[in-house]
Amino acid sequence: MKTKLAGLLFIFVLLPLLMIGQNSVTIVSWNSDDMFCDKDVKNREELGPLSTDLNPDILLLQEVKSPQVVNAIKTAMGLELFSHSATNFNNKGQNSLFSCKRDRTSFDIGIISRYSISEHYEFTFKADNPSGIPEKIITTDSLISNSEEFINPTKGYLWVRIAVIKVIFFAVHLTHSFGDKNCNDRRRSAYQREVIASSVMREIDRNKISFPGYRIVVAGDFNIGVNDEKMNGSVIEIDDCSDCEKTDCVDETHAILHGNIFKTTKMTNLAEDLNQPTQRDPKYWYMGPIDNIYVLEETRDSFTPARRVKTRYGSDHWPVYANMMY
């Protein structure tokens, strides 16, 4: 017990103090909740205070509808000089900024960066936007499954490389399972998360070769909490919905990202010890944080632990943030 307390004291108190004086980058991940058009952005008065309170260097956004909306958010936050990028799943067109239709099948992911973006890609299941950012096709990993019927074609992820601070971001918004009614539903949503997680991990393996010395960050809304004993499993071949305490549960998303499935790259979740929910609905608080920030295990000491902000700034999620030292 004393050893564990000493370790926590070092992580949360001494480590941040030791990092004072180094160059620090504040990384914030936030599910902004239904930011679909210019009207939504203008009505969210909390965007200005969020920018002032958190002073983010990197802001990763989920539940935005298009690159145009991300640009509008950037302006509303007073960050006009920052760079930005965003996915455009299902190619919603140039007029998407003015369409406030609630289309939950095509949530996009964005990033706003104080630093110039050197390279970016939309990883998607279907290339459909030749005028947008470059696209790469996601392929399912043979270790996960080949059940194409379970694929969610509207989900992918955003890959961004920032050379000036030598960091690569994988911004994700994984499929939710809050409305699942039976075992098959839970398996389907878990599989959709696992497919994205496995694609991210395979790409990280390639990035470590192509970009040696880079820090790598995987962050966003995972829709599966780190403490969810009803869903989190560790054996990819076993998906037991009925009695998983004796066998293995259905969702290996976190196990994949930790590196326990592919046995190549090891990642550390900076929100592992957060012990706070990041979504407002109390019936999901047992899951712990569903908004997470993973980093390469070998670079863990370059980051502070993830923390939750006190206010949600008009969203149904609390922002989480960590500092990267370089």
Q: Could you tell me if 180 and 104 are in contact, meaning their C-beta atoms sit under 8 angstroms apart?
A: no
> Taking 70 as the threshold, does the pLDDT of residue 103 lie above it?
no
Average pLDDT over residues 117-127: 93
Percent of the chain with pLDDT over 70: 86
Instruction: Please give the Cα distance from 38 to 100 (Å, whole number).
Output: 8
Query: Which stretch of 8-12, 57-61, 70-74 has the lowest confidence by average pLDDT?
Result: 8-12
Query: Which stretch of 2-16, 115-129, 143-157, 197-211 has the lowest confidence by average pLDDT?
Result: 2-16
> Taking 50 as the threshold, does the pLDDT of residue 286 lie above it?
yes
Average pLDDT over residues 3-19: 50
pLDDT at position 96, please? Answer: 66
Helix (H, G, I), strand (E, B) or coil at 199: helix
Q: What is the DSSP string of 102-138?
A: --TT--EEEEEESSPP-EEEEEESS---TTSS-EEE-
> Taking 50 as the threshold, does the pLDDT of residue 39 lie above it?
yes
Digit-coded pLDDT (tens) for 287-301: 999 999 999 999 999
pLDDT at position 70, please? Answer: 94
Average pLDDT over residues 2-9: 51
Residues 6+ apart with CB under 8 A from 159: 120, 121, 122, 123, 136, 168, 169, 170, 171, 203
Using a cut of 0.85, tell me whether the model's pTM lies above it. yes
Q: Could you tell me if 167 and 56 are in contact, meaning their C-beta atoms sit under 8 angstroms apart?
A: no
pLDDT at position 198, please? Answer: 93
Higher-pLDDT residue of 129 and 103 is 129
Digit-coded pLDDT (tens) for 40-52: 999 999 999 999 9
Q: How much is the mean pLDDT over the chain?
A: 87
Query: Which stretch of 134-138, 181-185, 258-262, 312-316 has the lowest confidence by average pLDDT?
Result: 181-185
pLDDT at position 41, please? Answer: 93
pLDDT at position 291, please? Answer: 98
Banded model confidence at residue 11, pLDDT cuts 50, 70, 90: very low
> Taking 80 as the threshold, does the pLDDT of residue 142 lie above it?
no
Task: Name the β-bridge partners of 61.
Answer: 30, 110
> Taking 50 as the threshold, does the pLDDT of residue 219 lie above it?
yes
Sorted by where each starts, the structural domains of the chain and their CATH numbers stand as 23-315 (3.60.10.10)
Q: Could you tell me if 29 and 60 are in contact, meaning their C-beta atoms sit under 8 angstroms apart?
A: yes
> Taking 60 as the threshold, does the pLDDT of residue 17 lie above it?
no
pLDDT at position 80, please? Answer: 95
Percent of the chain with pLDDT over 90: 62
